[in-house]
Amino acid sequence: MRIQLNERELEVEAGKTLMDLRREFRPDADIVIWNGAPMVEDQALSEGDRVVLIRRGEMPDSGELEALMVARHTPGVHERVRRASVGIAGLGGLGSAVAIALARVGVGRLVLVDFDVVEPSNLNRQQYFVDQIGMHKTAAMADNLKRINPHVKCETHDLCLTPSNVPVVFRDVDVLVEAFDRSDQKVMLLESFATAFPQKPVVMASGLAGFGPGETIGVRRIGRGIFVVGDMVSAAQPGQGLMAPRVGIAAHMEANLVLRLLMGEEGR
Amino acid sequence: MRIRLCYHAQIRQAAGVESEEADCAPGADVIEALKDAIARHGHVFHGLVLADDGKIRPSLIVLVNSVPVPHGTRRSLADGDEISVFSAVAGG
């Protein structure tokens, strides 16, 4: 029967088990992952199984790294998302966290756009480091993503998005993530993109400020292929700031929605 | 002609209804339909939909039959059209 071992096709005899495989191919492996789940007990193998054997703490070569990184993915996800392209408009609290989540998932290409530089007040919620203060967010995020997953292609644009350049910058993406701060810019982005690419989905955010209950943040579809994540009402304003927990919840809900769209699990 | 209006989030709260049907004059556009809705729903609704200059607020998403209507464009309505409005709030 055919299985995959560390993402490479392998023919094995019927009746083989997980631990047989470890003994034969990687006796020093101390992490055994079977179809996305870590295993301690032995398990009979079946046609199409995916097995990953890892020696804890060992740096794999570049070719093997990608395979090992997705060992805990649900089977079938990696093949789909590695061919995908996602645009992220804005690399602040939302966009920086969405970018990292999608890089960890292994989305093949990310188009990252922001005009700003990292400054100290960003660090309460945005995915940058103190030593990146003063860097352009596009360059800083591309560096961070490369350290997380070097297999993701990052296309960066250090510019201010306008109705005229939105269709150019995001012409090749499968899904667009709106991650702006200003409400009028959120609307501008949606109008510009949806007019140019009416068949492509847009994932937006609205209502994530403060420290209200996390469970009030949800997803609402407001039009064909137009999704909004947030509690819909909590605006960033004097007296109600933006902080890592709720911004992070919204960002990861945006990222999860992107993943669902790429996997065909979410109707448009 | 008859159209349908769907309200989301704060606008739904201000209107007090999730959606409603309304009559429009033939050839009416989106702004006219929204001004009719303002007359029905009062000042809080007004403040969420229109800016001080009488134009649609820059933070307002207006969709006709699920397709966004860009600010500054006139969108004529037809019988059976559905207008959805959503007010985006700042933060990201």
| A189 inside domain | yes
ipTM over 0.85: yes
| A107 inside domain | yes
Q: Output the domain CATH number for residue B12.
A: 3.10.20.30
Q: How much is the mean pLDDT over chain A?
A: 95
Residue-number span of the structural domain to which A45 is assigned = 2-61
Q: What is the pLDDT along chain B (92 residues), one digit of tens a residue?
A: 999 999 999 999 999 999 999 999 988 999 999 999 999 999 999 999 999 998 999 999 999 999 999 999 999 999 999 999 999 999 99
Report the number of distinct structural domains present in chain A: 2
| A120 inside domain | yes
Residues of B in contact with A137 (CB under 8 A): none
Q: What share of chain A is helix, strand, coil (3-state, %, to 5)?
A: 35, 20, 45
The per-residue pLDDT for range A114-143, each reduced to its tens digit, is 999 999 999 999 999 999 999 999 999 999
From A190's Cα to the closest Cα of chain B, the distance in A is: 8
Element (H, E) at A37: strand A37-38
Q: What is the mean pLDDT of residues A97-109?
A: 97
Residues of B in contact with A234 (CB under 8 A): 89, 91
**Residue from A155, A99, A88 nearest A126 by CA:** A99
- A98/A151 same-domain check: yes
| B92 inside domain | no
B23 vs B36: CA distance, rounded Å: 9
Query: What pLDDT was estimated at residue A62?
Result: 76
Residue-number span of the structural domain to which B15 is assigned = 2-87
Query: What pLDDT was estimated at residue A268?
Result: 63
Report the number of distinct structural domains present in chain B: 1
pTM: 0.93
Q: What is the mean pLDDT of residues A77-86?
A: 94
Q: Which chain A residue is nearest to residue B58, measuring alpha carbons?
A: A184
Query: What pLDDT was estimated at residue A65?
Result: 86
- A255/A155 same-domain check: yes
Question: Cα–Cα distances in Å, from A31 out to A5, A58, A72, A247, B62?
Answer: 13, 11, 11, 34, 52
| A267 inside domain | no
